[in-house]
Each structure stands twice: as structure tokens, then as C-alpha cells.
Amino acid sequence: MAKRQIIEIDRDLCDGCGLCLNACAEGALVLDEENKAVLAKEIYCDGLGACLDVCPTDALKVIERESEDYDSQATFEHVLKTRGEDAASQVHGISPKAQAPFPAHTGCPGSMAQEIQKTTVPKENKSVSGESELSQWPIQLHLVSPYAPYFNESDLLIAADCTAFALGSFHQDLLKGKKLIIACPKLDDTSPYVEKITEILKNNTIYSLTVAIMTVPCCSGLYQIVNEAVELSGANIKIKKVVIGIDGQIHS
């Protein structure tokens, strides 16, 4: 068996609320006889972490360990049997029309095409330019230096790339008064990210740390990267997680 990303459940933290069961489109999680979340089968877990953001006790995390590969066809059949056709069509890695596997990266729920409905409110016929709250450059994680002087004695915001486009008030509600780092856990080469964020935290006094991600499953990886860096750095700092929906609303 090869190593891959997969969900791990902390039984001591799990309170049996069951929210993760509904959040997992693949039906990978069930409650056992002690009312604790467990993996039904490892082959049903795609490792994307759609369940992470709904857990009220942070009992779930994505880790890398040896495991059987995610099996999209077996997962489809499992969900079809337990939840029906509509639910099965949402399984990661399955084409709803063909009901057959296709490359996993094209089946990410966060890549699903959808139109966002907006309610139009009449406004005066004028254009207002919002003031930028960006106070440093560069901002992309590959480009920033852990030793840049502007990080010391700062409040730090690490945001997924899409958050600034989804949240209209990003500058005012999230960025104001903070230094910014942006990254995409799905499309970037994230191999150096944990080490770089660790160095930033070790070499600077960071007053607060906010991580902004989207509700799409792939985005949860950024929070996991930052969380690992905090642990490795030994910094006594609590991460504030802000989750933004594609509807432009802050969900937490």
C-alpha cells in the first residue's frame, strides 16, 4: 500500500453529532456502537476533507499514511445502495451520466460548475472605489520571505486565492490591519509551504493568525498546512478559521 491523504478521527474529541456523515458525499463516515465517527471503509475516503469544516470539536483532520487507494467505483455503488441515485451522482470521481470512473482531479466537488444567484438592489448611478488595505508586497507564499521585516509584530492573514474574489468586503472585513499571504492548496506546489510558514512563525512575533478558506473541499488543505506549521514552530498562537461560501457569505 502507498501513502496517501486520508481522514483521521480523534475519538476523545468526537461528540457523535453526526454532522460529518452528512458532509461526506462519499459516505465514508459512520457512527460506531459508542456513537463515535469512524471510517466505514478506507477505500470510500477521498482524503479531500469536506467533513473538516462542519466538525464543531475539531475531531477530524487529514493525515498522510499508508492506506488502500480511494475507489470511486466502489464508493459510487456504496452510496447508490445506501443513499440513492441523486447522492451517488455527487460522489468524487464519478461521471453522473456514465456512472463510471474518470480521473479524480476532474471530479472535485469544488470544481463543479454552478451559477451564483444574486438579488439586485437598486443603487444610485455612481461608482465607488474601495480603499485597498494591502500593506506589503509580495503576497504569494512562494514569493514571500520568512525574514521580511513587515511580518514581525503583526497580525497575519493566510488566505486561499479565491477568497478575495468571493468575499466583496475582503479588504475591510478580513485584510484591514493585517499582513497577507495567499496560496492555493489545490493548484500550487505546496511541498515547501509547511516549512516556510513554520519559519515565519518561528522568526517573528505574530499577534494573531487568521486562515481564510472557501467552503469547497479542496480548500481545507490550506488550514491543515497552517495548523501543521503552527505545531512545528512551537508558537503559542490559536488559528482563527474563516470559511467563505461561493455565495460570498462568511459561513464561520
Looking at residue 102, its pLDDT comes to: 41
- Beta strands 60-66 and 94-95, pairing class: unpaired
Answer with the residue of higher pLDDT: 130 or 112. 130
CA pair distance 36, 22, nearest whole angstrom:
14
Q: CB pairs under 8 A, 24+ apart, for 228-233?
A: 228/194, 229/193, 229/194, 229/195, 229/197, 229/198, 229/200, 229/201, 230/201, 232/194, 232/198, 233/197, 233/198, 233/199, 233/201, 233/202
How sure is the predictor about 169, in pLDDT bands with cuts at 50, 70 and 90?
Answer: very high
Looking at residue 116, its pLDDT comes to: 47
How sure is the predictor about 100, in pLDDT bands with cuts at 50, 70 and 90?
Answer: very low
pLDDT of residue 97 exceeding 80: no
Looking at residue 200, its pLDDT comes to: 95
Is 200 within 8 Å of 171 (Cβ atoms)?
Answer: no
Looking at residue 89, its pLDDT comes to: 82
Residues 6+ apart with CB under 8 A from 117: none
Phi/psi at 227 (5° precision): -60, -40
Domains and CATH numbers, the chain: 3-108 (3.30.70.20), 149-244 (3.40.50)
Average pLDDT, the chain: 85
Looking at residue 1, its pLDDT comes to: 78
Question: Per the structure block, which three cell numbers stand in for 74?
Answer: 466502489
Mean pLDDT within 62-78: 91
pLDDT of residue 41 exceeding 90: yes
How sure is the predictor about 108, in pLDDT bands with cuts at 50, 70 and 90?
Answer: low
User: On the CB side of 153, how many CA atoms lie within 13 Å of its CA?
Assistant: 1
What percent of the chain is modeled with pLDDT above 70?
85
Instruction: Count the neighbouring beta carbons within 10 Å of the beta carbon of residue 80.
Output: 18
